[in-house]
């Protein structure tokens, strides 16, 4: 329940003063609408107008005039006569309006139901002692030939007028009406008793009964065949506790009782019929207009105007339409002001506001609604920090608190070409800054996401860097990039056997196709022999990056794997081996070592680009094996020309290149757009190939030394096969195992 702010008094406070005011006489100047009123009755729309035979003048005090929001007993009588005496009665009077009980002035047009017979001569607070002097003029001005009078309660309360004195006053009243219009008929109504709702006691009971007896006797004494006087016993069945809204003035049920008793008296004169009875329990069904609503940050001020309903107070109701729980009513009516501030409301909530009128002890019907969206108070709309950390069978999402947030919505994305979002169906509370998400499939990348909320207002989602669940998945799309050490060069002797791409020497015998089950369906090889980072037959390995996402799009939900070997051609290993075959090259080690060291920057930049091209993939970058075995005893045209010291030098240079690859892969994690790690397989490949380099004997040699296979390169008798110093088929398996070792080691245990 929202906290309700404002002054503490309620409608009951106002009602106390209202009960006193109801008993006070009103001696105001003649109202603005005091000119004679003549109502012409139409039997039905389009009928010819005709003046009814009965010109009925109803006089009285506040009980008869009524106040804003009343139907009045006059309306009930008029409505019945439309049925029981159609076209026979015209209601006439000196005014047609109600008393404005909200502003305490005459002239309210606000009937509960507007109707054609609203003319009358009743005045709020009138005394019979005064009306005796006015009736003649009222009859003359309106041309009335029938008068219904209900006066006397104010005389009893304020002047202590006795029953016999009221009888005398009524005698004079009838005489003056007759003087103004000889032959006029008069209905004298019993004066009604009152009830105090607070001390639960009835008042003026004995007095009104005595008056009823006197008026009944007066009617018998003064009535003649040509000038009839009848008594309407409106006290018959009257119970002020049940029939008034404020102790004195009739509620809709009381109105029907009074109108029924008057209609019975008129029926005795031949005007309408007493039956059917219209007396019944009747609700007050007045509805107010839609309230004015001024919005604020998580609050609303609801304003209304009570004049049209005559309300002494208002209930305020609101409905948070987002929840569809219906309207909630404030627990008390608002009496002494015409607006109310409701706070706090739910930020971003769509609220419908309406009021329900209270008039004394009556409650009307809910009025029209006004709908407003509630703005939020200031709050930090993005979490300051967010992170995700691997945990057993899933990950933990962590974030820092946002100022003034009331909670957080959480979600995660399973990263792939198409990365669906899974949301927690409810917000966590404002003090929560960690959430465990498990179990999740192993070997997949995820992003954790959090957004501060205040009510229904959502800030901006913030995502963590990719976090990987432990373990490996075999249901992955795998693409292999790189140079000849990935393309498969060395597998086939005949060029025509490189079945995927002859110039690039790509083949399904390459080690990439040994990495997983269903390889041909989920593996793509785009490596190309002789490629450097930015140069080569297909414009270099960097140019291969653009082919990654189109391949992953073929299996948009699959896990992703990328491998690459690059760097060997950039430092010119092939040319250096050729150089060493022709001369002693040991003295070049220092220069060559520096060239390899300088590769750290280009590799670092390339790995960042690679991560941007495949941000949701396991990325494994390969090193190079021990190309030539330092102690190998094979004696062929290549091996015999490279000394043991030169072989050891090449081992040191390859190890250095592998170290640079390790360093560039590790450092790239701290830069670039994404933070997906790049894993280096260099040490794992090196370990698998130890003792299996070129120039070994027999099956221990996994890398070709001298060969003419794979296509010849070079001049004249110095031509050698391109397969030289590249992995044999057994070496391709070694490479696959090396990369697999890296994946297992880096992925962690499930």
Q: Is residue 229 part of a domain?
A: yes
User: Are 63 and 136 in a shared domain?
Assistant: yes
Which of 95, 83, 64 has its CA nearest to residue 190?
64
Q: Give the CATH number of the domain where residue 348 resides.
A: 2.60.40.10
User: What are the CA-CA distances from residue 407 to residues 113, 315, 382, 383, 421 (Å)?
Assistant: 51, 33, 12, 11, 19
Q: Is the pLDDT of residue 617 over 90?
A: yes
pLDDT confidence of residue 616 = 94
- Report the domain count for the chain: 4
pLDDT confidence of residue 12 = 39
User: Are 123 and 209 in a shared domain?
Assistant: yes
User: Are 710 and 591 in a shared domain?
Assistant: yes
Contact (Cβ atoms closer than 8 angstroms) between residue 174 and residue 181 = no
Higher pLDDT, 588 or 633: 588
Q: Is residue 3 part of a domain?
A: no
How does residue 669 score in pLDDT terms, banded at 50, 70 and 90? Answer: confident
How does residue 29 score in pLDDT terms, banded at 50, 70 and 90? Answer: very low
| pLDDT tens-digit map of 285-312 | 999 999 999 989 999 999 999 999 999 9
194: containing domain: 35-90+119-267
Contact (Cβ atoms closer than 8 angstroms) between residue 157 and residue 20 = no
User: Are 316 and 216 in a shared domain?
Assistant: no
User: Are 256 and 182 in a shared domain?
Assistant: yes
Overall average pLDDT of the 380-404 stretch: 96
pLDDT, mean over the chain: 90
Overall average pLDDT of the 414-419 stretch: 94
pLDDT confidence of residue 750 = 61
pLDDT confidence of residue 521 = 57
pLDDT confidence of residue 632 = 85
User: Are 151 and 229 in a shared domain?
Assistant: yes
Overall average pLDDT of the 128-156 stretch: 98
Please tell me whether the peptide bond between 344 and the residue prior to it is cis, using omega within 30 degrees of 0.
yes
Q: Is residue 274 part of a domain?
A: no
Q: Is the pLDDT of residue 5 over 70?
A: no
pLDDT confidence of residue 518 = 60
User: Are 390 and 354 in a shared domain?
Assistant: no
Which run of H or of E encompasses 231?
A: strand 229-232
Q: What does the block give as tokens for 458?
A: 């959502």
Q: Is the pLDDT of residue 7 over 60?
A: no
Q: Is residue 98 part of a domain?
A: no
User: Are 86 and 216 in a shared domain?
Assistant: yes
164-178, 412-426, 465-479, 543-557: least confidently modelled range: 465-479
- Secondary structure of 579-644 in HEC code, one letter for each residue: HHHHCCCHHHHHHHHHHHHCCHHHHHHHHHHHHHHCCCCEEEEECCCCCECCCCCCCCCCHHHCCH
Overall average pLDDT of the 453-467 stretch: 96
Residue bearing tokens 């304020």: 158
User: For residues 575 and 580, what is the distance between their CA atoms, to the nearest angstrom?
Assistant: 9
Q: Give the CATH number of the domain where residue 80 resides.
A: 3.40.50.1110
Higher pLDDT, 338 or 9: 338
pLDDT confidence of residue 716 = 55
Please tell me the number of Cα atoms within 13 Å of 14 on its side-chain side. Answer: 23
Q: Is residue 104 part of a domain?
A: no
How does residue 457 score in pLDDT terms, banded at 50, 70 and 90? Answer: very high
| pLDDT tens-digit map of 693-734 | 999 988 999 999 888 888 888 665 567 889 999 999 999 999
pLDDT confidence of residue 43 = 33
Which run of H or of E encompasses 650?
A: helix 644-668
User: Are 367 and 391 in a shared domain?
Assistant: no
pLDDT confidence of residue 36 = 34
Q: Is residue 9 part of a domain?
A: no
Strands (E) across 308-375 are located at 313-320, 328-329, 339-342, 350-359, 362-363, 370-373
DSSP letter string, 375-435: BPPP---S-S-EEEEEETTEEEEEEPPPTT--EEEEEEEE-SSS--EEE-SSPEETT--EE
Q: Which of 468, 499, 531 is the last residue in one of the domains?
A: 468
Q: Which of 313, 338, 373 is the last residue in one of the domains?
A: 373
Overall average pLDDT of the 530-534 stretch: 96
Q: Which of 438, 468, 498 is the last residue in one of the domains?
A: 468
Which string of b and e fits 4-28 if b means at least 16 CB within 10 Å?
eeeeeebbbebbeebbebbbebbee
The distance of Cα 704 from the centroid of its chain, to the nearest Å, equals: 68
46-60, 109-123, 268-282, 551-565: least confidently modelled range: 46-60
User: Are 728 and 643 in a shared domain?
Assistant: yes
User: Are 298 and 334 in a shared domain?
Assistant: yes
pLDDT confidence of residue 458 = 97
User: Are 367 and 481 in a shared domain?
Assistant: no
pLDDT confidence of residue 369 = 98
Q: Is residue 18 part of a domain?
A: no
Q: Is residue 107 part of a domain?
A: no
């Amino acid at each position: 329940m929202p906290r309700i702010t404002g002054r503490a008094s309620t409608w009951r406070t106002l009602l106390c003063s209202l009960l006193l005011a109801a008993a006070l006489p009103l001696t105001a100047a003649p109202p603005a609408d005091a000119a004679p009123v003549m109502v012409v009755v139409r039997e039905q729309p389009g009928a010819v107008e005709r003046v009814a035979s009965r010109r009925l003048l109803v006089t009285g005090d506040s009980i008869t005039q009524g106040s804003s929001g009343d139907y009045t007993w006059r309306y009930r009588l008029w409505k019945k006569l439309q049925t029981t005496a159609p076209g026979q009665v015209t209601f006439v009077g000196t005014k047609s309006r109600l008393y404005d009980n909200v502003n305490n002035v005459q002239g309210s047009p606000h009937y509960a139901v507007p109707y054609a017979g609203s003319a009358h001569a009743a005045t709020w607070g009138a005394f019979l002692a005064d009306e005796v002097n006015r009736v003649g003029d009222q009859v003359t001005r309106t041309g009335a030939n029938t008068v219904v009078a209900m006066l006397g309660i104010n005389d009893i309360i304020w002047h202590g007028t006795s029953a016999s004195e009221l009888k005398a006053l009524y005698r004079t009243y009838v005489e003056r009406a007759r003087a103004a219009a000889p032959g006029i008929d008069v209905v004298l109504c019993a004066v009604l008793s009152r009830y105090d709702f607070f001390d639960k006691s009835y008042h003026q009971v004995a007095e009104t009964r005595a008056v009823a007896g006197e008026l009944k006797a007066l009617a018998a004494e003064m009535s003649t065949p040509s000038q009839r006087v009848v008594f309407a016993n409106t006290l018959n069945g009257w119970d002020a506790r049940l029939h008034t809204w404020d102790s004195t003035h009739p509620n809709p049920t009381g109105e029907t009782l009074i109108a029924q008793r008057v209609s019975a008296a008129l029926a005795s004169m031949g005007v309408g019929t007493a039956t059917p009875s219209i007396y019944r329990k009747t609700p007050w069904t007045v509805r107010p207009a839609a309230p004015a609503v001024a919005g604020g940050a998580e609050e609303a001020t609801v304003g209304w105007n009570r004049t049209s309903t005559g309300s002494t107070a208002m209930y305020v109701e609101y409905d948070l339409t987002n929840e569809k729980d219906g309207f909630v009513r404030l627990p008390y009516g608002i009496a002494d002001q015409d607006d109310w501030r409701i706070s706090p409301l739910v930020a971003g909530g769509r609220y419908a506001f309406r009021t329900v009128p209270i008039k004394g002890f009556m409650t009307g019907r809910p009025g029209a609604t006004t709908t407003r969206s509630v703005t939020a108070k200031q709050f930090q709309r993005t979490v300051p920090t967010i992170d995700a950390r691997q945990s057993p069978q899933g990950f933990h999402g962590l974030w820092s608190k946002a100022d003034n947030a009331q909670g957080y919505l959480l979600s995660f994305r399973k990263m792939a070409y198409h990365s669906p979002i899974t949301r927690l169906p409810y917000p966590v509370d404002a003090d929560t800054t960690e959430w465990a998400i498990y179990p999740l499939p192993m070997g997949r990348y995820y992003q954790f996401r959090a957004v501060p909320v205040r009510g229904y207002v959502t800030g901006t989602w913030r995502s963590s860097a990719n976090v990987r669940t432990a373990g490996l998945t075999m249901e992955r799309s795998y693409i292999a990039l790189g140079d000849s050490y990935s393309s498969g060069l060395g597998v086939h002797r005949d060029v025509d056997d490189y079945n995927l791409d002859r110039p690039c020497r790509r083949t399904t015998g390459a080690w990439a196709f040994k990495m997983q089950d269903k390889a041909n369906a989920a593996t793509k090889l785009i490596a190309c022999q002789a490629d450097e980072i930015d140069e080569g037959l297909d414009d270099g390995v960097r140019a291969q990056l653009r082919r990654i996402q189109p391949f992953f799009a073929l299996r948009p939900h699959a896990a992703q794997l990328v491998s690459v070997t690059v760097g060997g051609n950039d430092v010119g290993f092939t040319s250096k081996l050729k150089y060493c075959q022709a001369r002693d090259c040991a003295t070049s080690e220092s220069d060559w070592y520096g060239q390899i060291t300088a590769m750290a920057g280009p590799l670092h930049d390339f790995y960042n680009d690679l991560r941007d091209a495949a941000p949701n993939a396991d990325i494994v970058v390969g090193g190079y094996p021990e190309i030539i075995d330092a102690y190998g005893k094979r004696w062929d045209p290549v091996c015999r020309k490279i000394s043991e010291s030169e072989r050891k030098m090449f081992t040191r240079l390859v190890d250095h290149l592998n170290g640079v690859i390790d360093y560039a892969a590790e450092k790239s994690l701290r830069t670039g757009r994404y933070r997906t790690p790049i894993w280096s397989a260099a040490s794992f490949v090196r370990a698998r190939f130890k003792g299996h380099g070129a120039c070994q004997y027999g099956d221990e040699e996994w890398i070709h030394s001298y060969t003419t296979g794979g296509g010849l390169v070079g001049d004249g008798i110095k031509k050698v096969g391109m397969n030289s110093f590249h992995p044999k088929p057994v070496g391709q398996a070694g490479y696959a195992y090396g990369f697999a070792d890296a994946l297992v080691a880096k992925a962690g245990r499930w």
